Structure 1
């Protein structure tokens, strides 16, 4: 699939799903992809697994406002994540979050270290922007920058993760080594863009992935009937 075909599909999808609002979402994605050179392959691709990671992440919202900036540690084997916003990066963000997530167990802790308090929530939706889900579908291989000049391009892959009923859509870009670069999460009323930076392939501080003493023994809050709660909801 070439770049033009891919953009056409995005426009069609968002217009059909969101009506006129979809033009804005598709335009954002077009802006992101417009300078990228498509180098699509017809081979069958299986979703890969991200390595252990420590890095920085930035989250932008529908109106290009910064929702969160911060540091993260991700254990890919045990599917554990710690995300702490408003630390390390010198940017103001609208959300001040400290999240510890056990995706395998379907549990999210919302931590307030200052007040030594915690909220424990159950995850019905376990998708997140730090690893490809097993049901991801390969779209294309592309190169950001130049594919013909050595050292002037970054080859990456694009994957999609549709949700039954088209209530939301996730588009993820990963390096050829399966490092997540950017993730777009689109719902009927909003869009989030996650960008990962300065990633290192290990967990610098394993203690970050342990439940703090003041969070232990809590019962998970009940999710209102008819709603599906997931990691992305903390940023909407």
Structure 2
């Protein structure tokens, strides 16, 4: 797995040239399936997501009906603009409200991202066999890491690589539909309203990916 990812990145980095005039786009509303894996090939999360592009809200429910042996069972409501997120336990009607130290959004290109290249995996000469994507890169100083995001020409994030000192992750998005099918998923559950903010231990950096480390 690691060798395959490294080879893919190398091909992308060497096959095309920079174009500084590109500006980061922003993803539309989406519903789909997301997988989170580390570069050892371990599935850390797999489940359904709902994303509000204007409100910068993401609901990700892992393992609800896609259970895998090594993945983490989570239900997360990320409120990126507010710098908050909720860990939700619907079965027990409980939740924890936490502050985001790193507002890493796996479904949106950061405004300071740098355009690296346009690549076309597959065979562009055969209809249906090639997909043109833009590659964006950047750093995450809060967590001493970096990222590479591969986004379609319509600004749908397909695959993102996140690199940290201790580990790395691959996020892949599939079965994407350009709508919010269930808006209630993006509303803070009634049993979470008024919840006190959980104190973050010194040295801890809360982020979306931190939930899978």
Q: TM-score, normalised by structure 1?
A: 0.83
User: Could you tell me which residue of structure 2 aligns to residue 157 of structure 1?
Assistant: 134
Give the Cα–Cα distance (whole angstroms) in 2 for the partners of residues 231 and 59 of structure 1.
11
Give the Cα–Cα distance (whole angstroms) in 2 for the partners of residues 97 and 169 of structure 1.
24
Give the Cα–Cα distance (whole angstroms) in 1 for the partners of residues 207 and 101 of structure 2.
6
Q: Contact 2:102/2:142 (CA < 8 Å) preserved in 1?
A: no
3-state secondary structure, aligned to 2:132 = strand
User: Could you tell me which residue of structure 2 aligns to residue 188 of structure 1?
Assistant: 165
Quick one: structure 1 residues 131 and 191, their matched pair in 2 at CA, closer, same or farther if it must change by over 3 Å?
Answer: same
Correspondence 1:43-192 to 2 at 5 A: 43-89=20-66, 91-164=68-141, 167-192=144-169
Deviations 1:79-119 (A, max 9, x none): 00100011343644420000001100011100011111101
User: Could you tell me which residue of structure 2 aligns to residue 17 of structure 1?
Assistant: none
Quick one: structure 1 residues 137 and 34, their matched pair in 2 at CA, closer, same or farther if it must change by over 3 Å?
Answer: closer
Give the Cα–Cα distance (whole angstroms) in 2 for the partners of residues 44 and 181 of structure 1.
22
Q: Does 1:219 align with 2:185?
A: no
3-state secondary structure, aligned to 1:218 = coil
TM-superposed deviation, 1:33: 4.3
Q: Contact 2:18/2:115 (CA < 8 Å) preserved in 1?
A: no
Give the Cα–Cα distance (whole angstroms) in 1 for the partners of residues 154 and 143 of structure 2.
29
Deviations 1:133-177 (A, max 9, x none): 111111110001012223210000111121338811111110011
Give the Cα–Cα distance (whole angstroms) in 2 for the partners of residues 77 and 63 of structure 1.
34
Give the Cα–Cα distance (whole angstroms) in 2 for the partners of residues 94 and 168 of structure 1.
22
Q: Would you tell me which structure has more helix in proportion to its own residues? A: 1
3-state secondary structure, aligned to 1:154 = coil
TM-superposed deviation, 1:50: 0.2
Unaligned segments of structure 1, at least 5 residues = 1-23
Q: TM-score, normalised by structure 2?
A: 0.91
Q: Contact 1:40/1:142 (CA < 8 Å) preserved in 2?
A: no
CA RMSD, Structure 1 to Structure 2 (Å): 2.2
TM-superposed deviation, 1:230: 1.3
User: Could you tell me which residue of structure 2 aligns to residue 233 of structure 1?
Assistant: 210
Q: How many residues are matched?
A: 212
